Amino acid sequence: MFFHGINWEYVLQVYPILSPRRGVSRKRGDQLEDRQHLLERFGLEPVHLLEASHAYPAHRCLGECLAFGDTVFAFQNLPDPLWQLSSHEVGVKVLDLRTCCRIYTARTDADVARWFPNVVPTFIDDR
């Protein structure tokens, strides 16, 4: 399983496709340096996801993704090509949010059913 954390407001702005190119103007400091490093290494900046494994369980991925946003999308499969960014992190060129299999959100006001009618959200307490 693969996980991506994002703020719900941003989901509404970019639905249905996540692409790092859309957010370049909002990046600052360390984010810009990380972007430059990825461009040099891969020729593009991929969308980052955490990959669950026996050594890195799904609940840990979920918790870490919540540091990046109030909503976490989970995917059973990802499109090719897939880049290994670190031991537990992978990247893809773009990510179609409609292909998610689960959505976890701390936003009780998020109208998940409107945007993702085939996925029942899990509401979480992120306090």
User: Which DSSP string do the residues of 32-77 spell out, in sequence order?
Assistant: HHHHHHHHHHHSS-PEEEEE--SSS-HHHHHHHHTTT-SEEEEES-
Give the separation between CA 103 and CA 55, rounded to whole angstroms: 22
> pTM score, two decimals?
0.86
Query: Mind listing the pLDDT tens digit of every residue in the chain (127 residues)?
Result: 999 999 999 999 999 999 986 554 455 666 566 655 555 565 678 899 999 999 999 999 999 999 999 999 999 999 999 999 999 999 999 999 999 999 999 999 999 999 999 999 999 986 5
